Structure 1
Amino acid sequence: MCQKGNIRTKILALVTILLFLLATGKSSYASFTIQDEKKLGKEFYEKLKNKGLLIKNPKVNDYINKIGQNILSHTNKSPFHFTFSVIKSSGINAFATPGGYIYVYEGLIKLVENESQLAGVLSHEMAHVKSRHIAQIIEKSQKLSLATLVAILAGAFLGGGGEGTAAIASFSMATATTLNLKYSREHEEEADRKGMSYLVSTGYDGRAMLNFLRIMRRYEFYSNSIPSYFLTHPGTSDRIRYLDGLLQTTYKKRGVKSI
C-alpha cells in the first residue's frame, strides 16, 4: 500500500476509536473548563502519537520545540503545558488543539522561507490556545457532544486534505455541520495581534507573519488549490491588511529593530 493509503487508514482508525471512546462520556459541555481542554487535547495527542502520525525525528522535534519554548518564555504565564509536534503530511497546515498542543505539517515547514516565518506560525497558534478560542466556540455551542468535539479536532487535523474526505463523509450531516471549525475574524485578529507581540518580543522579524500569508496566497494561486491552512484560518485578505496595519503603526513607532 502506498504511503498516502497508509496515512488514510491510520487516520480513519484514529477517528473511529476517538468517536467510540469519547461518545460514551459526558453528553455535552455547557462550560468547557481548562481541565476539559487539557483532557481533550491530551487524548487527541496520545492517539496521534500511538497511531504513528507524528514525526519521530529527534532533530526535527528538538528544532520545533526549541523555537516554541523560546517564544513561550517571552509570553505571560499559561495554565497549559505546551507541546509542539510535526505531522507526517505534505499538506500545508498548522493548528492548535485545546490544552496547549500545537501541530505543524511537514509540508508547511518545507514551504516557509526562514525560521522567523515558522516562528510566526507557532506564535499565532499559541495565541489561539492562550486566548482559549476553541473553548469559546465550544461554550457558545453548548450542545456539542464529546463525539462531536473529537470530530471537530479530527476535522482540524484532516484539514480538507485528500486523506480526510472519507473520514468526514462517515459523519452524520449534523456532525459534519458542527465539525466546521473556523475561527471568527475577532479570533484571528486577536491571535495575529498577540502572536505578533510574542514574535517581536522573542527577537524575530515581525514582518515574517505577513510574509508567510503572502507566500500562502502565492501557493494557492500557482497550485490552483486551497491550502488546508485557509480552511481553519479564514479571512486571509483581512489578516494581511490587519498585520500590515500593525507593522505600519504599532511596530513602526517602536523603531526598525522591532520589526
Structure 2
Amino acid sequence: MTHSIARQAKMIITLLVSLFIVFGVVPNGAQAAIISTQGEIDIGRDVGKQLEKQYGLVGDPALEERVTKIGMNMVAVSERRNLPYTFKVLNSNEVNALAAPGGFIYLFKGLVDLMPSDDELAGVIGHEIGHVVKRHTVHQIEKNLLMNVGFMAVFGDRGIALQSLAMDVIMAGYSRSDEREADYLGYIHSSKAGYNPYSMTMGLMKLSSLDQHYQYDLFSDHPEGKERIALIQGYLEKDHVHPKAQLTADKKGAIVVDGTWKLPTITVLYNGVTPLYRAYETAGALYRVSQLAEYNPDTYILDYDGENIVINYNDIRILVITPEDALAYNTNQMELAGLYVDKLKEWDRKKL
C-alpha cells in the first residue's frame, strides 16, 4: 500500500512538473488552471494567425469597424472584459463563426451575408463571446493536455502543440451543454447591450432553414437546434420580454401580440425575410421602446425611403410598410401605415 501511494505521488509530481515546464501551469486555488490567462491569449493569437492565413480577411474596413463596435458593446456587459478582444471577418462563404481562446473572434463572410442586421450579428457574436467568457475551448484543451502531456512533454514543441490542440478543439465543435451555455450568454449579452432580445431566436431560426450539410458552430442538427430555440424562448418568458411574435393559426402570416393587444397581421416577405421574422424584429423594437424612461404614443413618425414607408419611434425602427404589404390589405401604403400607428398608440407598454 505504502509503495503504491508513493508511486502515485511520484507520478502526480512528475505530471505537474511536466505541465509547469512544458505548458506553464498556473495554480489557481481550488480550481487549478493548467493554462493561465496570458497562456490563453497567446494560444488564441496563434490560432487567429493560422485562421487568417488559411482563409484571409475580407478587407472591408467599414465592415470590420461595424463588427468590432457590435462586439465591444457586448464585451462591456460581459463577465470577462480584460481580454484583448478582436472581431474580424474571414473571407469565406462558409456559414460559421469561431471563438479562439483569449477573445479572438471570427465571423465568416457567409454568415455575415446571411445575417445582415446588427441585431442578428449581435446574437451570433454574443454567443461566441459566451464561449470565451466560460473558457470552453480552454477547458477542453486542458483535458486533452492531461491525457497527452507525457508524449508532448518529451516530443512536443509547446507553442505548436497548444496551437494544434486549440485548432482541433475548435474544429471539433462544442458539447451540447457548452453550446446551450453560450446560447444563454448570447441572449444575455445582446439584450443587455441594447440589441433585439429576440436576436438569438432569429439567428437560430435562420440557421435552421439552411441545408444541413453545412457544419457550423452555432447550430449542428435539427433536433438539437429546436431544443435550443425552445430554451431561448424559455429565457424570454422568464424575463417577461414583451410583446411577442407568433404565427397566425393558419401559419400564413405572423402577428405581434401583448396580452389582448395585437398589431395587424404581417403576411408578405420583405427582402426575403419571412412574416414571422419581421414580427420578431417589430416585437424586439417595441421591447426596446418599453425600456425607455419616457414614452409618448404621439412620437411615432413615418419616413419614406422612395419605395417603403418606415414607422419609427424616435430612432428605433418599428416596421417597414412595403407596397406588397399594402396590396395584401387592398389599400395604399399610407393608409396601412396609419392603421399600424393607430394600433401602436393603443399599446400599453407596461402591461405584463
Matched, 1:241 2:230: yes
Contact 1:216 1:227 in 2 (8 A): no
Larger proportion of helix:
1
Q: Partner of 2:227: helix, strand, or coil?
A: helix
Question: Which residue of 43, 53, 71 maps to 1:68?
Answer: 71
- Amino acid in structure 2 at the alignment position of 1:237: K
Unaligned runs of 5+ in 2: 1-20, 26-32, 153-157, 244-257, 259-285, 291-352
**Structure 1 equivalent of residue 182 of structure 2:** 191
TM-score w.r.t. structure 2 length?
A: 0.53
CA drift of 1:60 comes to 1.3
Equivalence for 1:99 = 102
1:87 aligns with 2:90: yes
* C-alpha deviation, 1:237, in angstroms: 2.6
Q: Aligned pair 1:228/2:232, yes or no?
A: no
Which residue number in structure 2 is paired with residue 122 of structure 1? 125
CA deviation profile, 1:38-85 (whole Å, cap 9, x unmatched): 111111223444567122221111111111112212233433111101
- Match in the other structure for 2:164: 151
| Alignment partner, residue 163 of structure 1 | none
2:216 partner amino acid: S
**Structure-1-length-normalised TM-score:** 0.70
Q: Which amino acid aligns with 1:95?
A: L
- Higher mean C-alpha deviation, range 208-217 or range 247-256: 247-256
Residues 199 and 148 of structure 1, relative CA distance in 2, 3 Å threshold? same
Q: Secondary structure at the match of 1:143?
A: helix
Q: Offset of 1:113 from its aligned partner?
A: 4.6
Query: In structure 1, what is the Cα distance between the partners aligned to 2:129 and 2:56?
Result: 21
Change (3 A) 1:230 1:78: closer
Q: Give per-residue Cα distances to partners, 1:131-165, cap 9 Å, x unaligned.
A: 111111122232345555433544577x5xxxxxx
- In 2 relative to 1, CA 191–125 (structure 1 residues): closer, same or farther, beyond 3 Å? same
70-79 vs 249-258, greater mean Cα deviation = 249-258
Candidates 194, 202, 209, aligned match of 2:200: 209
Aligned residue pairs, count: 210
Asked whether the 8 Å contact 2:70–2:122 carries over to 1, the reply is: yes
8 Å contact kept, 1:117–1:212: yes
Distance 1:193 1:112 in 2: 19
Determine helix, strand or coil for the equivalent of 1:86: strand
Is residue 32 of structure 2 the alignment partner of residue 36 of structure 1? no
Change (3 A) 1:129 1:66: same
> Higher strand proportion, which one?
2
Distance 1:251-1:117 versus aligned 2 partners, 3 A rule: farther
Task: Give yes or no for contact 2:105–2:128 (8 Å, CA) kept in 1.
Answer: yes
Identity, % of aligned positions: 27
Give the secondary-structure state (helix, strand or coil) at the position aligned to 2:147: coil
Q: 2:22 matched to which residue of 1?
A: 26
Structure 1 residue ranges without an equivalent (≥5): 1-24, 160-179
Gap change, CA 1:61 and 1:76, over 3 Å in 2:
same
The residue type equivalent to 1:240 in the other structure is: I
User: 1:55 maps to what in 2?
Assistant: 58
Shift of 1:117: 0.8
Q: Which amino acid aligns with 1:214?
A: M
In structure 1, distance between residues paired with 2:23 and 2:147 = 8
Give per-residue Cα distances to partners, 1:170-207, cap 9 Å, x unaligned: xxxxxxxxxx3x32222122212222111111111111
Report deviation, 1:257. 2.1
Measured on the aligned residues, the alpha-carbon RMSD in Å equals: 3.1
